[in-house]
Structure 1
Amino acid sequence: MTNKLEKIILIDDSGADNYYHQMIVEKAKVCKMVTAYDHAGDALNMLGDAVKKNQRLPDLIFLDINMPVIDGWEFLNRYEGIVPQDLRHPVIIILSTSVNPSDHERAESHPSVTAYCNKPLSADKLRDIVDQYFS
């Protein structure tokens, strides 16, 4: 499975988690480019710029829930205001350590969220996600 996707983005305030997950994605060779964002606002700016410039959006977004300033839920609310409904939307996977059942339920019921996955991301989980949503 080499470079099945164009771009994956990671959104997590933990630099260590982003580094680890970026290494997993790069070693799995499932995409041409992976970019990590420590601040959800930076990812929103990138998405907004891509929409304005009519550029391709990422294929897959891994999103943490518990982040300062803009948490995962606020990111999703703002994302829906930035990306028009008629565009091809990225697959959004919540990637979290949260053990709160309401977070899992909220993710499953959110229209922009494709799935919920517990951290850490592993190569096997990543391959399963790519196989399931991009085959």
Structure 2
Amino acid sequence: MLKQILCIDDDPITLMLCKKVIAKSEFSNEIITAQNGEEALHHFNTLKYAGSKSNPKKPELIFLDLNMPVMGGWEFLDHFTSYAYSDYNSVNVIVLSSTIDPEDLIKAKKYPIIIDFLSKPITLPMLEYIKKKIDV
């Protein structure tokens, strides 16, 4: 079981479904959410500045939507994979999107932290597949 995962999606129903399915599968102890990439980066900035004082947990896995207002998934990945966030570049990302654009699948391969590209909605069999893939 993972200690903490981060779900980044602008749709509150998708976030609620993620929480319910993940809780039911005992996939993670804690699920945190962000409604866009900017909010997610803010979370990581907060962790960075908290430092070792409070020994903050960093997510072990990120579920990322691509199409969001304010800051979408691709823009988030561009920032998140930069030197400024190098402390977190070991966090695996699974794109969880409703996109069917083959260009998105090709683009995802350019980011080594993306370990899979799955279609919404998240399901229990999907989580079982991910557990095997990341050896949880």
TM-score, length basis structure 1: 0.88
Gaps of 5+ in 2: none
Structure 2 equivalent of residue 101 of structure 1? 102
Q: Shift of the alpha carbon at 1:112?
A: 2.5
For 1:53, the equivalent position in structure 2 comes to 50
Q: Superposed, which structure 2 residues align to 1:1-135 within 5 Å?
A: 4-54=1-51, 55-81=56-82, 82-84=84-86, 89-135=90-136
Whether contact under 8 Å (1:6, 1:32) holds in the other structure is: yes
Q: CA RMSD in A?
A: 1.6
AA of the residue aligned to 1:20: L
Amino acid at match of 2:57: R
How many matched pairs?
A: 131
Aligned mates of 1:118, 1:88 — CA distance in 2: 23
> Kindly, what percent of the aligned residue pairs are identical?
26
Equivalents in 1 of 2:85, 2:112: separation in Å? Answer: 13
| Contact 2:6–2:34 under 8 Å retained in 1 | yes
TM-score (norm 2): 0.88
Q: Which runs of 4+ in 1 moved over 4 A?
A: none
Query: Which ranges of structure 1 fall in alignment gaps of 5 or more residues?
Result: none
